[in-house]
Amino acid sequence: MNTFPKIYEKIKQYSTIILHRHTSPDPDALGSQAGLARSLKLKFPDKRILCAGENDEGDLIWINEMDKVTAGDYQGALVITTDTANTARIANKLYDQGDFLIKIDHHPDVEPYADLSFVDDKAPAASEIVADFIIAQNLPLTKEVAYPLYAGIVGDTGRFMYPETSTHTFLVVAKLAATGININEIARNISDVTFAQAKLQAEVLEYMKVDASGAAYAILTQDTLTKLGIDFNEASCTVSTPGRIKDIIAWNVFVEKPDKTFRVHYRSKGPVINELAAKHDGGGHALASGANAKNMAEVKQIFAELVQVTKEYRKTHE
């Protein structure tokens, strides 16, 4: 693991810095990217600092909007990825066109793709790592900087409910809150859903199939999304819905994309599922991961694998 000072020295060497995050971003992806970009802009007003993505922020656009980034911007640039474990998930595939690549992440380091990296898979959020970096290097920590970082930490800790949340997490968020950010507004922005999204959550429970093992799944088709007037990115509001049911231990939510492939969401209350996601062009945390399925045959395979690890988990924990 490389130290923060080494990363900071690289940052000081480049006049153009382009920050990337993962595709289909969650609050932590956008928050870590935006928080670092905003702090660096305040510290180095003469540098050109850009946030690159695929304009797939969806209903999380309140955290940050992407900049217009062209291939020419990467000439001699420093590229930094946040919250992205493997290259397949990096938004905007121009990331490797820069002069030097830095990775800041909290997922297991299954693909050490960068020239320089700081990876702490015990941290609950990449935004917490970025906040630590900003504080350690005495970079600007204003309301503008703290807002997306706080959103990222709240999002990836499940409002401080997930087991990775630590006493250090609360020390960090206390410093972020001390800048004067509206923490109530952030909580509402993360938890509030539209009426259409609420209907979609009800559809998930309606479509949910539960195996005797405690594994469950739901498939949301394009027809369902179109009927409710919801786009693909807005459907992520359904991912945590099955977790409210006591009998469900692990679950998949499959969301059909316009090209008829599926975005796969894995969530768990115990069984380790990130290794399953890695088999299907994905990855993530032990209890929260994402992947992709090419067709219904792969959807069935993915759920069969989830049933198996859930059965094994129950054998060892009951």
Q: What is residue 267's predicted lDDT score, i.e. its pLDDT?
A: 95
Q: What is the pLDDT of residue 24?
A: 84
Which residue stretches of the chain have pLDDT < 50? none
Structural domains present in the chain:
4-190 (3.90.1640.10), 196-317 (3.10.310.30)
Burial of 97 (C-beta count, 10 Å sphere; 0-12/13-18/19+) = middle
Look at residues 161, 33, 166 and name the one whose alpha carbon lies nearest to residue 95: 33
Query: Which pTM value belongs to this model?
Result: 0.85
pLDDT of residue 2: 56
Dist CA 77 CA 73 (whole Å) = 7
Alpha helices in the chain (DSSP H): 4-13, 27-43, 126-136, 143-156, 167-177, 183-191, 195-207, 222-228, 274-278, 296-317
Distance from C-alpha of 276 to C-alpha of 80, rounded to nearest angstrom: 27
Per-residue pLDDT of 86-135, as tens digits, reads 898 899 999 999 999 999 999 988 899 999 999 999 999 999 999 999 99
The DSSP bridge partners found for residue 263 are 255, 292
Q: What is the pLDDT of residue 294?
A: 97
